[in-house]
Chains A and B, each alone.
Chain A
Amino acid sequence: MISANDLKLTFGQGTPLENPALQGMSLTVAEGEFVTVIGSNGAGKSTFLNALAGEVLVDSGTIVVDGEDVSRLPTHKRAGRVARVFQDPLAGTCEGLSIEENLSLAIKRGQRRGLSSAVKSRYKDRFRASLASLNLGLENRLGDKMGLLSGGQRQAVSLLMASLTPSSILLLDEHTAALDPKTARFVLELTESIVRESGLTTLMVTHSMKQALEVGSRTVMLHQGKVVFDIAGSEREGLEVKDLLELFEKQRGLEITDDSLLLD
């Protein structure tokens, strides 16, 4: 469960570049819910995710994950609860390390690391089985360097890494945006099946309104660092992109100026 209350965060406070990224952002996500987050550029989507992960600390407000206030904790202390996949396929893995080394890093997420061998033989069968489920032939390439994989393959492995150890929440930051349409669909389907199997509480930021309505069980739109609308259940069913646009304009009295939101 995630509960974010009245988050405020301003970048470059007191400088000419002052940028209020979060302006009283509140959102409560129930256990096992899959929420898609949309919003135009600068709406605060990535900042919100970074605030949840601990990459940025909020100026005020509280973030509670599974009953614990994590607002002031740095990223690595939240990692046991928070799994994350980045937009940039290069960001979620280490290209200089092998596939099995990357997976071994992830299997100890949020736990103490000692001096025993990192890539244990008992891990390997599990790695092979998980990789085989991707149908990418990676199960026979455990020793290959991550840098040899394509962007889509790396995103798929990043998703596996996020699901190797139990966590409370999964944060997906436009994780299909840098992929070609076919690979993006594959990674999205993989995301859905992983979320379904693990029952993870998931937040997925996306640039595509269509994608936002197709996956997950609830959609939230951010604008100027706040939630402007929040739809779920029957209200959300059968909704199309143009309905979403109308909803947005009605709520804000604004026109969508960011074309990329309208593109599929």
Chain B
Amino acid sequence: MLSEIALYGAVETGLIYGLVAFGIYLSFRVLDFPDLTVDGSFPLGAAVAAVLIIEGFNPWLATGAAILAGMAAGSVTALLNVKLKILNLLASILTMIALYSVNLRIMGKPNLALLSEETVLTPWYDLDLAYHQVPVLLFCIVLLVSFVLLWRFMKSETGLAMRATGANPRMARAQGIATGAMIVLGVALSNGLVGLAGALFAQSQGAADVTMGVGVIVIGLASLIGGEAVITPLNVVRALLACVVGAILYRLAIALALNADFIGLKTQDLNLVTAVLVTLAIVLPGARNSLRARFLRNSSKV
């Protein structure tokens, strides 16, 4: 089974991916905009934060800059789609590819170590907590704040306009909503959240790496879809809750699968396990319904 440290480690990463799942909820669910930019904006957030921290800036300031960088990346994707009429998926792939070079430029080399630097976590280690509990506490707070802000935003006039843009753009326009501007704002916010996740991930792992974004989109989707399988997203609060629960469950499932020696899985099997988990999360809710229907049919015959 999981050791306590492995358990906390899984929750810590899960909390960070909860932010990614929020972002993916905004783009995929609210705006119906399949956005792969996140594979680039996650390491972008990490790179910006790492470089600024090494330059001696306040780590929170560096993290804020990472959010802005993520938002800028998201805006580029959205503008490619809205202004230049490039298919949304393709626009996001273009930005993602471009960001690989941008991230290398920002960092100057493929990875930067942060081990001896002061990060957002540093002051928290003075608390009377075990070393592996500190990031969990801090990231819980960050996630909670993001949750409340995002929830309030979705309930605001602008947030409602954004939801209408994704659900029924023609109706949204007829109500005077500038749907193009809403897409730019939404995709920017989404990638801002992912940039934040990247910045926190780099600080908790002690390094930023140009390849750390590979598969972020899949993990985010896995969290989103998995969470929705557990908590039906009937309203905004439940949808956001599903993101958090999904992200943590996903990391726990991965940790369990890789730690359980009797299954024989190793670290290199991570992506295979991910693909299997996502498939299960997509298929299981449907299978559960059809099983229930079959059960009801059979029992009504008796």
Decide whether A and B are members of one complex: yes
Closest chain A residue, CB of each to CB of B181: A76
Q: Which chain A residue shows the least CB distance to B159?
A: A118
Q: Interface digits, A104-120 against B, CB 8 Å rule (1 contact, 0 not)? A: 11101111011111110
Size of chain B's interface in residues, with CB distance under 8 A? 22
Say whether A91 contacts B157, CB under 8 Å. Answer: no
Taking CB atoms, residues of chain A closer than 8 Å to B164 are 94, 97, 105
Contacting residues, chain B, for A79 (C-beta < 8 A): 173-177
The answer for the CA separation of A84 and B156 in the assembled complex, in Å, is: 24
Residue A93 at the chain B interface, CB threshold 8 Å: yes
- In the complex, the answer to whether B173 meets A55 with C-beta atoms within 8 Å is yes
Say whether, besides A115-B153, A118-B157, A108 and B176 are in contact (CB < 8 Å): yes
B179 CB to closest chain A CB (Å) equals: 7
Q: Please name the residue on chain B nearest to A143 by beta carbon.
A: B235
User: Are B160 and A118 in contact (CB-based, < 8 A)?
Assistant: yes
B178 contacts across to A, CB distance below 8 A: 76
In the complex, the answer to whether A105 meets B173 with C-beta atoms within 8 Å is no
Bound-complex Cα distance A235 to B167 (A): 46
Shortest A245–chain B CB gap in Å is 34
Q: Is there an interface contact between A113 and B161, defined as CB atoms closer than 8 Å?
A: yes
Chain A contributes a number of interface residues (CB within 8 A of B) equal to: 35
Inter-subunit contact A84/B174 (CB<8 Å):
yes
B232 within 8 A of A: no
A116-172 interface with B by 8 A CB criterion: 116-119, 161
Would A96 and B157 count as touching, CB distance under 8 A?
Answer: no
Residues of B within 8 A of A75 (CB): 173-174
By the criterion CB–CB under 8 Å, are A94 and B167 in contact? yes
Is A95 on the interface with B (CB-CB < 8 A)? yes
B266 contacts chain A at the CB level, 8 A cutoff: no
Please pick, from B163, B175, B179, the residue contacting A109 in the complex, using a CB distance under 8 A: B175
A-side interface residues toward B, CB under 8 Å?
Answer: 53-55, 74-77, 79-80, 82, 84, 86, 91-97, 101, 104-106, 108-111, 113-119, 161
Give the A-binding residues of B (Cβ under 8 A): 153, 155-161, 163-164, 167-168, 170-179
Q: Kindly list 20 other residue pairs between chains A and B, CB separation below 8 angstroms, not including A76-B176, A92-B171, A114-B157.
A: A55-B173, A74-B173, A76-B177, A82-B174, A86-B171, A91-B170, A93-B171, A94-B167, A101-B160, A104-B160, A105-B161, A105-B172, A108-B175, A108-B176, A109-B176, A113-B177, A115-B156, A118-B155, A118-B157, A119-B155
